[in-house]
Amino acid sequence: MRELWKKGAAELAALIRSRNVSCREVVEAHLSRIADANANLNAVTVVLSDTALEAANAADRALKAGEPVGELCGVPFTVKEGIDVAGSASTHGLAPLRNAVAQKDSPVVAALRGVGGIPIARTNMPEFGMRWHTTNAMHGATKNPWNSNRTPGGSSGGEAAAIASGMSPLGIGSDGAGSLRWPAQCCGIAALKPSHGRVPIVSSGPFPFAFQLLAALGPMARSVDDLRLAFRHMCGESIGDPWHVPAPLEWPSVKRPIHVGVMVNPGGIGVHPDVARAVDSASAMLSDAGYVIEPREAPLLQRVSEIYVQIMSRFGRISSEPQRAPVGLVSAEFDEFWARFHLPWERAAGEVTHDPMMERVTIYLEWAELLNECPLILAPIATEPAFRVGEDLEPEWGERWLSALRMIMVPSLLGLPSVSVPVEFGSGMPQGVQIIAPRFREDLCLEAAHAVESRSLIVPAFEFTPRGAR
């Protein structure tokens, strides 16, 4: 019972409601775990101990008085540094923003606070969130809890590492090009990228169109049940997001058994054996759970990535002209990364169309037809496993990585929900898959992800001794 930091959000909430533990005990257990683990992993950047303990004490008083409390009463959660938490700086990994203290919570943070959740810490991210490995000049690099020689992913890499190592049972990250799903794959946790418009994301401006369309905020946790618990509270009203849709969380049941389109090697672009084995294993698990498995091809996959790159490149800025970061704003390492990556990125745009949104509709119709036949898609997240630290600075990496990212870009471009769930181990590292559903059918992909999770042998990173991390 004392190792409360090993427990998930739902279990902690139940223990608190039953008065078996106090909110303060839960918060103190996670603060202690951060003190023990973060020196090795560098996942947490700021510990909100004073405000977290104050909130825990207030929650305990409310419980003692018999006052009504929220479903997440006393449950700590962590928040990526690119998402606003009132009274804490949203640095986006940039040292000049270390004093950019948010005056109010992001809608998703406010939503979890509103049901009793307690922000306990902020987590690391790469500069601008524009890298698939987590490091920056201000806080340094986050280590993968399984193997410090492998990336924890990015841009929500600090969040994934904190959750995987028990520093937090629940977290909030963001995803524009896999920033929830890719770190989940690297660190062996679960994550949900919601449908476009499902969870409020725009709370202040300026906010470029590309991010309005392609980005999402979502929960990260060690279990699918905890994703579901957090997600249903993150979909509340928003007066700041013009895209927000108050869609129902539950829909009429689809015809059973549900057909799953499986894409082991999407587009025939090549897939690492560890990744392929994870998809095959998840396919067998879903079959065992009563799903009908059908091998399928990914429609227009190359064009998906090309249109994604065109929209992000053209409409992902707050000014009309492309600009390099001012000297001193980013690290020399980020400058080196971008110097190597920007040319492959520009080439990835393919044939430039005058109206990428028009072509996006054509792509969407192809995928909608597929999802009408197979309401779920099982596929790799990235087609490569967690890469070596420093590999993304090597000359040939950019071209290969953009190819590996294509299935990550499908839900982002088309606004579809996707759950990342760990499946098995490959070469000493956890390996996960993503399950994609039609828009607003998070319920379907969460249900399928739970079926996979309940049949997998993955256990938390803190049950192992990470290679090279001590």
What is the rounded CA–CA span in Å between residue 119 and residue 102?
14
Q: Using an 8 Å Cβ cutoff, are 370 and 410 in contact?
A: no
| Token pair belonging to 90 | 């949203």
Peptide bond into 438 cis (omega under 30): no
Catalytic residue among 7, 22, 80, 281: 80
Cα Rg, the chain, nearest whole Å: 21
Residue 51 CB neighbour total at 10 angstroms: 15
Q: Using an 8 Å Cβ cutoff, are 174 and 215 in contact?
A: yes
Cα first-last separation, the chain = 26
Catalytic residue among 88, 148, 179, 418: 179
Q: Write out the E strands in 287-392.
A: 292-295, 376-379
Residue 291 dihedral angles phi and psi, to the nearest 5° = -80, 155
Spell out the residues 6+ positions from residue 280 whose beta carbon is closer than 8 angstroms to its own: 264
What is the rounded CA–CA span in Å between residue 59 and residue 66?
11
Q: Using an 8 Å Cβ cutoff, are 236 and 199 in contact?
A: no
64 in catalytic set: no
What is the rounded CA–CA span in Å between residue 419 and residue 433?
8
Peptide bond into 375 cis (omega under 30): no
Coil/strand/helix, residue 254? coil
Query: CA torsion angle for 361, 364, 365, 371 (degrees, to 10)?
Result: -170
Q: How far is CA 266 from CA 207, 405, 433, in A?
A: 32, 11, 13
Catalytic residue among 22, 88, 148, 155: 155
Look up residue 249 and give its DSSP letter.
S
Pick from 347, 305, 346: nearest CA to 322: 346
- Count of positions (residues) in the chain: 470
174 in catalytic set: no
What is the rounded CA–CA span in Å between residue 309 and residue 346?
8
Pick from 212, 187, 188, 182: nearest CA to 200: 212
Q: Using an 8 Å Cβ cutoff, are 209 and 202 in contact?
A: no
143 in catalytic set: no
What is the rounded CA–CA span in Å between residue 365 and residue 371?
10
Element (H, E) at 80: strand 76-80
The amino acid occupying position 402 is L
Catalytic positions are 80, 155, 179
